Amino acid sequence: MGKGQFEEDERQREARQILDRVGRESDPQNAINRFSGRVQDHFSAADAPKGDPIELWGRRIGRILALIALAIAVLWLFSQIMGAPA
């Protein structure tokens, strides 16, 4: 096997790796799983310090209250746009 054949095999192997990675990253199901995992980590306060339960629950409560406030704001905006009485 010559040096040229070795380089060709190496290029083909690298090309297959790149195509496999692109396939994994562009798979819609994989993207949905990553997104749902990030949302779950966010609302469970996975980024909070492990030894501080007050910080953990404070972040959880704050994030849930922010989600509720966002839902209320969206509903209010929707009712204003549609012209329904408030």
Judgement on whether residues 35 and 65 belong to the same structural domain of the protein: no
- Residues with Cβ within 8 Å of 59's Cβ and at least 6 positions away in sequence, in order, are 45, 47, 48
Q: Which one-letter DSSP state was computed for residue 27?
A: -
Judgement on whether residues 39 and 57 belong to the same structural domain of the protein: no
Judgement on whether residues 9 and 36 belong to the same structural domain of the protein: yes
Candidates 85, 44, 82, 86; CA nearest to 63 is: 44
**What is the full per-residue pLDDT of the chain (86 aa) written as tens digits?**
567 787 888 888 998 898 888 877 777 777 788 888 888 888 888 888 888 899 989 999 999 999 999 999 999 999 999 986 65
Judgement on whether residues 37 and 55 belong to the same structural domain of the protein: no
Q: Distance between CA atoms of 43 and 62, rounded to whole angstroms?
A: 9
The token pair at 81 is 């746009």
Terminal-to-terminal C-alpha distance of the chain:
80
The token pair at 50 is 């492990």
pLDDT at residue 82, as a whole number: 92
Judgement on whether residues 32 and 1 belong to the same structural domain of the protein: yes
pLDDT at residue 80, as a whole number: 92
Judgement on whether residues 7 and 31 belong to the same structural domain of the protein: yes
Judgement on whether residues 1 and 35 belong to the same structural domain of the protein: yes
Count of domains forming the chain: 2
Cβ pair 36, 46 in contact under 8 A? no
Judgement on whether residues 25 and 58 belong to the same structural domain of the protein: no
Domain range enclosing 84 = 50-86
